[in-house]
Amino acid sequence: MTATRIDGKAFAASVREKVTAHVATLKADHGLIPGLAVVLVGEDPASQVYVRSKGKLTQEVGMKSVEHKLGAETQEADLLSLIDALNSDETIHGILVQLPLPKHLNEDLVINAIDPTKDVDGFHISNVGLLGTGQKSMVPCTPLGCLMMLRDHHGSLSGMNAVVVGRSNIVGKPMAQLLLGDSCTVTIAHSRTKELSDVVRRADIVVAAVGRPEMVGGDWIKPGATVIDVGINRIDAGVKEDGSPKTRLVGDVDFASASEVAGAITPVPGGVGPMTIACLLANTLTACCRVNGLPEPEGLTA
């Protein structure tokens, strides 16, 4: 068996097309332009690249894009004051504070200062609680992207046995809640789960988000299962011709062996990653519709 490759890059492009069309309708019919504000504190190179990509794609779908770049020495009071101003800005419907923050800043305090209706990352404690109790919330982007791809591949997920490997607040826990919401039977497993391979092998759906390179091997996968690999790990791949270190990106799943057993699988790169920013745009659109009492965009929410 060779698994169907779930193309996250192509799926993300289709999500952005839907967002673009809905934004154009909002603009034409209601004079509304969804606005996304991204706050970057410090000089982390990976975060800088990510923020630039978010800004570019936000503009491409017709939304308002605002970036606030603050120095690494920014004091907590100044950051909270900026968030308060963005909370009050009616042209801004989504606020994202890029993580990680410098160590002298309290991430929980900063995230929970964001208006929950503008919390397009879905990390505010109010949104966590709403999601956990099955109520309408802003949903974290990566789990939302995984859910979209699973629905697209399977249609109904009702009654399927799902195992989420990883218990983080960003992916593992909200992913489990979303799968429960779609009537899956869900197990949250992690690195300390006893007989972990046996637990994973019972799953119709495996979502790997544990942060360990290629930990989930093909012999862990039930034949025909769908595997969503959230992991992004950079590992050593020898040396270049000039003698400098060579690296490559891999997921939490051993793609080569798992793709021989699974029914469908996401690659790394090109799987879940592109969906995260696409879902950030979808969340911003959803937030704009909700605050203005308009119907939510079909197929772009949980």
State the catalytic residues.
54, 98, 121
**Quick one: which H or E segment has residue 248?**
strand 245-250
Q: For residue 47, which amino acid is it?
A: S
Strands 245-250 and 233-239: antiparallel
Distance of CA 282 to the CA centre of its chain: 11
CA–CA separation, 183 and 187 (whole Å)? 13
CB 170 within 8 A of CB 177: no
Q: For residue 182, which amino acid is it?
A: D
What three-state secondary structure class fits 301?
A: coil
CB 198 within 8 A of CB 176: no
